[in-house]
Amino acid sequence: MKAIKPKFEEMAHTLNQINSGIEIVAVTKQVDVDRTQEAVNAGIRHLGENRPEGLKLKHAEISGEVIWHYIGTLQSRKVKEVIGLVDYLHSLDRMSLAKEIQKRADKPVKCFVQVNVSGEDSKSGFSPEQVPAFIESLKEFDKVQVVGLMTMAPNTQDEAQLRTTFKGLKELQEQIAAEKWQHAPCTELSMGMSNDYLIAAEEGATFVRVGTALVGSESEAER
């Protein structure tokens, strides 16, 4: 696999030209501990995992100052295993999960509410219309801080469709932020992955979640 450092520096430079405030979350779910450590050594600070087992292993093994992101669907029964290890949760998609976080967390957890902007049946998350009422209902949850919104765009090469999805999330984020709820500053946007992160950045992303385009994958290493 190619060295991570030059890829990261090029990616960071390109994103910085679009918006200087974008953070790159290296999604390390498809690579081992050594490759993940290489990412940290290359200067990457934000790491994303989507399985409790992978998160726990790497959290224990990786050295360096890392900000941990949980980016996958999180089962309520798994909350107690991971909530003390993560700085950000990108997949708050139901009230039962919020209640479990409130029950299990020792400190406020920075959460992104997952929004199904495209309305695809295959994707989790609230419809845009449901989001304001859900976020407002969390005001008594002192362990759940809604820092922003997250979406996954359709798997398509249609740039117009991608932009429509990302624009929709940006508009919703601005609507929520305008409420000035203390528990939900909602200033951040988690959107864009390996195939569409540049488009997401142009449409206002503040966090992009990049895996194979940055750190590769185990299958790539075996070729």
Q: What is the dihedral of CA 192, 204, 38, 73, to 10 degrees?
A: -50
Task: Tell me what pLDDT residue 2 has.
Answer: 80
Domains of the chain are: 4-221 (3.20.20.10)
Task: Tell me what pLDDT residue 121 has.
Answer: 86
Tell me the pLDDT tens digit for each residue of 89-103: 999 999 999 999 999
Give the Cα-Cα-Cα angle 35, 39, 45 (nearest 5 degrees): 140
Contact between 117 and 168 under an 8 Å Cβ cutoff? The reply is yes
Cα gap 52→54, rounded to integer Å: 6
Q: Which residues in the chain come in under a pLDDT of 50?
A: 221-223
Task: Tell me what pLDDT residue 218 has.
Answer: 72
Task: Tell me what pLDDT residue 223 has.
Answer: 37
Which residues are CB-contacts of 186 (< 8 A; sequence separation ≥ 6)? 135, 146, 147, 148, 149, 173, 176, 177, 179
Q: How far is CA 163 from CA 15, 31, 32, 139, 169, in A?
A: 17, 30, 33, 31, 10
Cα gap 159→73, rounded to integer Å: 26
Q: How far is CA 182 from CA 88, 137, 211, in A?
A: 18, 12, 33
pTM: 0.95
